[in-house]
Structure 1
């Protein structure tokens, strides 16, 4: 059996041509569009990937800014809270101080009012008691001793108010009138003048003044000095209270 291994160049060239033609056709009408589609898709994917990366970076930056803003707001809130607590504490302290001052003022006013009322009551009671004692003492002296008791009372009052009498005489000078609640006999007037001269005071005359309950009054123009039994008793009671 004889086999022919000779090459048919025409057939081979035709096959190669067909393959090239097929390659060109595939490349032009099949692989080309497919490659273009793949390239476009790849470009789109790359573009989207870049956009996603860019978006991710923007999100990261925005998140970082939000974190910074969050920290800043937190710090501001903390500072505001501390400032408000401080202001509240200061206001509370101020209100407490004002309340304490008002309470102290009210307390002082109350105490002062109470002291003033107590002093007024004591003063009125002292005057009333002194008046009652004066009238009673005067009546007793008049009933038992007569007018001589008045001279004794004057001597006691001269001695008690000697300082006031000297000061009054120094201011008034001469021309002082002695007012008494009763008519004075010559002997009594002499004794009265002598008592006044012993303390360094001279009088121009003696006058009767029925408004005086018990005691005497020195008068010179607008200068007046009252020295009564009522005053003597009131001052004595006041010194003991």
Structure 2
């Protein structure tokens, strides 16, 4: 059973965030071996595919969001073989909307400001790229809705896989609580390494905090709410402020 659970988690990670971690490692090697300094490079996110044809671009964006959530459905399917109550067991449900919202908002506030400070410091000392968080066509009507959906997709994917699913399976495989928390957090940091070392460290800290909170509450939904808020502020805020703020 232990081997089965560990093999299953490797496969789920292999078709989702684990593969992102490998590509992020390759990306940071690429960046570090370029002539220009890391701080002079840009990590572009949420980019248009066909900027000259908005109708096709929005279709590409929606397809990317939808397919990114398939590993979540796979994880739920695998967990439900042993526990038909999943994903309710991990707390991914709407049973406590008010509590989940205020806890998620408070958690986003606690993480957001220090996270921005860490990014600015890391970039200033040459350890991080410039993160261009939103690069959709500025005049397109769908820019803000797509960025909000992308933020929610990131949150659902990362928190249900990295917390809800992996914590369940690794615990069933006999891992101790802190081994689970630390391993999940390091993987989370690794798949953000394409941004630089500030993103790596910041997301490890976020993963440690999220993991510890989950072991106390057994609810993943506040983490999804917090992550969604953080990414909405980053994506939409960048899109709106970029034309007016020189240091973004």
Decide: shared fold, TM above 0.5. Answer: no
Q: TM-score, normalised by structure 2?
A: 0.20
TM-score calculated relative to the size of structure 1: 0.21
Higher helix share: 1
Tell which structure's C-alpha radius of gyration is larger: 1
Higher relative contact order (CA 8 A, sep 6+): 2
Higher strand share: 1
